Amino acid sequence: MKKIMIAALGVAVTAGMASAAVNAPLKAKTTKGEFVTAYNDCNSPTNDSTNSPLVLPGCGPAALSNSACTFGSKGSGKYAAAVSKTDIKVSGVLAGLICPDGTVLDFLADAKVTTTDCQINPDCTLLYLSDFPTGSGTVNLGKASVKTTTETAIGLGTQVFKEGEVIEIDLGSIDVLANTPTPGKAFASGIKVGPK
């Protein structure tokens, strides 16, 4: 999962007074979403487009990012994250998978973090975190799940999120990477439009 298993909407951990520059919302403690199949990017030059009325350039045929680990006909996946005091509980499940048993799926997140826990200034925004690990699960009988906390997943103890500090996490994509038999992104946070 290509990103903190939180979500595109973001999660804020607020435990005290914010600085003058940090403008945190009153509440932003949960997020959840679903996974879709990951496909290769389309780059120029394009060779296709969508039909009208919204004609957009595209590349065809669509290519799976990881053909060794995909959804079956009844496959699905979801994730959730919730602030719990000064930590973030994360969970995710993928089912109906066509992946070899034993395949490890790494849940990763892209995130922009702004915090009041800075050394020089009263607040700062961190460099963009790309592919930040949030947990992993192993495929068994077409299913894989993860249930952990952010502090456990990064292994730095229980004071990563300090009491009294504000941390806002603007989540980009959340991806799931398969490590075998073909390493690479297999699923991404998103939505599906169309028949069930």
Domains contained in the chain, number: 1
Give the residue-averaged pLDDT of 56-64: 94
pLDDT tens digits for range 140-187: 999 999 998 887 777 776 677 777 778 888 888 899 999 877 789 999
pLDDT tens digits, one per residue of 146-155: 998 887 777 7
* Residue 32 within a domain: yes
Residue 122 in any domain: the answer is yes
How far is 71 from 115, CA to CA, in rounded Å?
Answer: 37
Position 129 in a domain: yes
Distance CA 68, CA 103 (A): 10
pLDDT in tens, 103-131: 999 999 998 989 888 999 999 999 998 98
**Bridge partners, residue 106, by sequence:** 136, 177
Report yes or no on 55 lying in a domain. no
Instruction: Tell me if 84 is assigned to some domain.
Output: yes
pLDDT the model gives residue 20:
57
DSSP 44: S
Residues forming a β-bridge with 144: 94
- Domain of residue 97: give its range: 11-36+72-190
- Flag whether 164 is in a domain: yes
5 assigned to some structural domain: no
Kindly state whether residue 160 falls inside one of the protein's structural domains: yes
